[in-house]
Chains A and B, each alone.
Chain A
Amino acid sequence: MTTDELIWRIAGGSGDGIASTSQNFAKALMRSGLDVFTHRHYPSRIRGGHTYTEVRVSADPIRSRGDGYNFLLALGDSFARNPQENAYYGNEEVKPLSENLDDLDDGGVIVYDSGLLDTDDIPDFDQRVEEHGWHVYDIDLRTIAREHGREVMRNTAGVAVTCAIAGIEPEVIKSLMDDTMPEKVFEPNMSVFDDAYGVVTEEYDADAPDISIPSGSHDEEQVLISGSDAIAYGALDEGCRFIAGYPMTPWTEVFTIMSQNLPEVGGISEQVEDEIAAAALAIGASHAGVKAMSGSSGGGFALMSEPLGLAEMTETPVVLIEAMRAGPSTGMPTKTEQGDLEHVLYTSQGDSHRVVFAPADAEEAYRQTRRAFQIAYEYQIPSIVLYDQKNGGELQNVPASVFDEAPNPDLGSVITEAELADAPHDPSGKYNRFQHGVEDNVSPRSIPGQEGGRYLATGNEHMPAGHISESPDNRVNQVNRRMSKMETIRAELDADGGQRNFHHGPADADYGILTFGSQQGTAVEAVDRLNDEGESVKLLGVSELAPYPVEEVTGFIESVNEVLVVEMNASAQFRGLTQKELGRFGDKLSSLLKYNGNPFEPAEIVEGFVTSIVEDGRLPGHETKFVPAAGD
């Protein structure tokens, strides 16, 4: 049992308010000066089905979920199905309690709503409690809630019980509830809170568990933010005022945040008939002079393949967001995976050229979404922000100052009417919008409605003014010009200053861990622990995937004996990309993979590294999988 941090898991059914309760809990503790980090687990159902959110709380900075957890608040599943005998989904009603026992630390706390849950339904419950030294609090939260208000307020009762046991000042929670609840809801919630808090202090031994909330303080004001929030905010600060989309989990979050905020800043959001239309609308709006975006998750992004290629061919700037979930096909809609890397890199016919960023966390998501817009509009190329269910939904505290940045509505490489007067035109009066031999091979675009700027944008190969052409000479010139932008962009990213991707650990380490996107924070914690345990390991978390940071990754791999590539998919896509881009190191890169729908815990990376690299042994379970380097 760790006492320097609380990892609180609130479990119930879908629709029981688990997400909002945990969000308020996390925010309250953040306000009290602590660092927080959440992890969500939920089913693809509107009502019912086991769902939980973990809130990790520490006085020290945290960037990952923890290993297991130490405090369970098990509410009932109000919308559980009534199972027939041998139903494969089992007894859903007790799952918020029964499903969470395996991960609970020894000496941990169990609070459960005895108004809804009966431990007689759980095999060997008492025996397991004794074995693991768990402290159990069976409290009728439902009845307390009903007495003072409504049944849904049992979440408040559960939070009050948590405070009493973990030693959290009630005022920390209450002041936040006061801020977020209307008075007529706030009053009964306070009564529920006080009653439940009193029950623990009066009738139970609240001090029995060896757990106490740490105290902390922040040097500056913090905000509780998710990756999805940060992507949307990056887009808004970059002057994006148009989004088109179609709902799909987990992308829906970004789409929702944008749709709710855009009208307030005079922007337009369009929910349309399908994802082909969504991407096409973003291209149409961008073509007409507005900074625009669209996005989806894997299945919807598949439908965007053809518009994506059109944006490449017509050199129309656009930013697309791809929120990965477990595939193929419908896969596991609410579970996380990093299996769409190759999909976003290569989908659509012909030679792809697009920019792909895979931010690790909220801060990177904000910065890289902004960068994605800058590059898209400066270089007239599609930019993709690739993230996943994990970092889209994780809430973490970030200094508010991260967002204290100037807006940038610059449309990038466009021409004005005044400039058009002296610009090259073809004999029919069309502007040569796709010119060869221009700076950085980017030919400034005109916008429909500009005098003297007319041209034809077409998905066919075309001449400088847009006329369709199959001339071999023109073809080679145009392909070379378009493709060369990738090298220019790479050079620009490198010029931003040295190491662009995330390095962590001793520079002279013997071994390396290489990962991309959302696994970075967890890998940081694993690397710290490995070094504490006497290993010599450093980390490179890559978030610029195309154009690939060849020099930076080459330097990293060359500096160590062996590299373990950590990613969440079954076919080692990031390792494959790295080998393709670097053209070597096949015998130096092994893989640690996870694809069961749940993100890595730090201990899994530690174990994977020690067992597979240091001891040359085999991993015991099948939660993660080791794939050795070529020839190993």
Chain B
Amino acid sequence: MSAFSAISEDIEHDRNEYTPGVEPQPTWCPGCGDFGVLKALKGAAAELGLSPEEMLVCTGIGCSGKLNSYFESYGFHTIHGRSLPIARAAKLANPGLTVVAAGGDGDGYGIGGNHFSHSARENHDMTYIVFNNEIFGLTKGQTSPTSPKGHKSKTQPHGSAKDPIRPLSQSLTAGASYIARTAAVNPNQAKDIIVEAIEHDGFSHIDFLTQCPTWNKDAKQYVPYIDINDSEDYEFDRTNRAEASEMMYETETVLHEGTVLTGRYYVDEERPSYGQEKRAIGEMPEEPLAERYFDDDHEWDRVYDTFLDRHK
């Protein structure tokens, strides 16, 4: 018998269940794109029939880090840039959990960039949502890793001399097996993409364009957007790495020319998730480790009987 019945029980859930009864009112600014992520995630969780208590939502620091304050589930609001290592360990400890990590573009592509690369490389079975508003919002408007070249801010008074990060291309190179971009202004597509990302067995990366009406007034509100999977102007095979790569490069380039492209860019259904790989080489148990601590019948090995002979 499982010690975690929220995981094993099959109950239908309403999207309202994901709205906390206390402090349900987000502190984000009016018009903030973060509302779009929250709404899409609630819609996706309901559609998937997930129990609030089989989900663990790990966030970083910044406006995006408040996501799990306004979403009813188990939550871990971590430290700046470190949502991924905490999230992926929780998944290894209890693969029954549905694990979602989220953070901003500074959190994920800047300070946490190392974890982003390696989590994608390892293909953990989890979803990573990056709130990309091309700015540091909560600290009041500094240039971020995705800010366009020439972007002026208090910390870059002469405009940024740096080209922005190419998050989709980087994700593909690193090894993510599901990569998409969506936008807060496109809630239906966003919800559908989150559903697919959670269902995908591997590392799903969603670059989520979230407009910051307060600190990034110059930026477009990401409208009008084009769904590349629906548009006849963009024909490509999203299961083909080379074609996906080209599509990503174009998307990242034209964003700063005023064209907002969104959609699914890359899907690899063949690649085993990290948990599968690790089990295949005998370095991860078949049963969730977390269950073992609640199983009174489990016989725990002790060193005296297992490893001590080699020292005699």
Contacts and interface: CB of A to CB of B under 8 A. Distances in A.
A458 B77 contact: yes
A457 B77 contact: yes
A287 B90 contact: yes
Interface stretch (B51-59, B184-192, B210-218, B254-262): B51-59
B5 A233 contact: no
Contacts of B278: 268
Contact of A268 (B24, B54, B56, B92): B92
Contact of A427 (B21, B118, B285, B306): B21
Contacts of A406: 302
A55 interface: no
A268 B287 CA distance: 12
Contacts of B306: 261, 264-265
Which of A267, A454, A466 gathers the greatest number of chain B CB atoms within 10 Å?
A: A454
A458 B83 CA distance: 11
A411 B3 CA distance: 13
A539 interface: no
Which of B5, B97, B290, B292 gathers the greatest number of chain A CB atoms within 10 Å?
A: B290
B74 A448 contact: yes
Contact of A284 (B66, B75, B86, B292): B86
B117 A273 contact: yes
B118 A449 contact: no
Nearest to A282: B89
A36 interface: no
B118 A400 contact: no
B94 interface: yes
For the side of the interface on B, what is the size category? 35 or more
A589 B31 CA distance: 65
B13 to A, nearest CB: 13
B290 to A, nearest CB: 4
A224 interface: yes
Interface string B231-262: 00000000000000000000000000000000
Interface in A411-449: 411, 416-417, 426-430, 447-449
Interface residues of A, number: 79
A326 to B, nearest CB: 28
Interface string B260-302: 0000000000000000001000111100011011100010111
A241 B287 CA distance: 13
B53 A454 contact: yes
Interface string B18-49: 00111110000000000000000000000000
Given A284-B88, A403-B304, A450-B53, A273 B118 contact: yes
Given A405-B302, A427-B22, A467-B22, A451 B53 contact: yes
A233 B118 CA distance: 30
11 contacts: A224-B311, A244-B85, A276-B85, A280-B82, A285-B89, A289-B93, A448-B56, A449-B74, A451-B53, A454-B75, A455-B75
Interface of B: 3-7, 9, 20-24, 51-54, 56, 58, 61, 66, 68-69, 72-79, 82, 84-94, 96-97, 114-115, 117-118, 278, 282-285, 289-290, 292-294, 298, 300-304, 306-308, 311-312
Q: Which 4 pairs from chain A and chain B are nearest by CB?
A: A284-B89, A449-B4, A428-B21, A289-B290
